[in-house]
């Protein structure tokens, strides 16, 4: 199959960062774009979630921990921060 040229416009700084990243990963920016397109064709979709303010993994884990704790009927609760401090001082 014959190759064709595709022109992509992007910010110069973004291109420099992408070149550095993909070089570290052992590929070119062109190769990375080809990987993206192949994956998109395989999945028949954008191969990653696109959204606003997507929380990172640590934040998602913290959210899940809060949900788990809120659902635990045996967890100790406090009415104020002062109450927590008094308990901590008594434990020391």
Domain range for 87 is 55-92
Examine the domain organization and report whether 40 and 59 are in the same domain: no
**Which has the minimum average pLDDT: 49-53, 62-66, 75-79?**
49-53
Examine the domain organization and report whether 39 and 59 are in the same domain: no
Tokens 């052992």 label which residue? 26
Cα 26 to Cα 16, 23, 32, 33, 71: the distances in Å are 15, 5, 10, 13, 45
Burial class (CB in 10 A: 0-12, 13-18, 19+), 26: exposed
Examine the domain organization and report whether 46 and 60 are in the same domain: no
Tens-digit pLDDT profile for residues 8-55: 999 999 999 999 999 999 999 999 999 999 999 999 999 988 888 878
Examine the domain organization and report whether 62 and 91 are in the same domain: yes
Examine the domain organization and report whether 20 and 40 are in the same domain: yes
Q: Is the pTM of this model over 0.75?
A: no
Examine the domain organization and report whether 39 and 80 are in the same domain: no
How many domains would you assign to the chain?
2
Examine the domain organization and report whether 62 and 45 are in the same domain: no
Task: Say what the pLDDT of residue 50 is.
Answer: 81
Confidence of residue 76 (pLDDT cuts 50, 70, 90): confident
């Amino acid at each position: 199959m014959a190759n064709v040229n595709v022109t992509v416009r992007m910010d110069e700084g973004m291109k420099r960062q992408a070149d550095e990243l993909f070089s570290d990963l052992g590929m070119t920016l062109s190769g990375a774009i080809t990987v993206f397109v192949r994956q998109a064709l395989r999945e028949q979709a954008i191969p990653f979630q696109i959204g606003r303010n997507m929380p990172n993994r640590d934040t998602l884990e913290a959210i899940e921990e809060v949900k788990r704790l809120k659902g635990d009927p045996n967890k100790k609760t406090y009415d104020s921060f002062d109450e927590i401090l008094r308990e901590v001082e008594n434990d020391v």
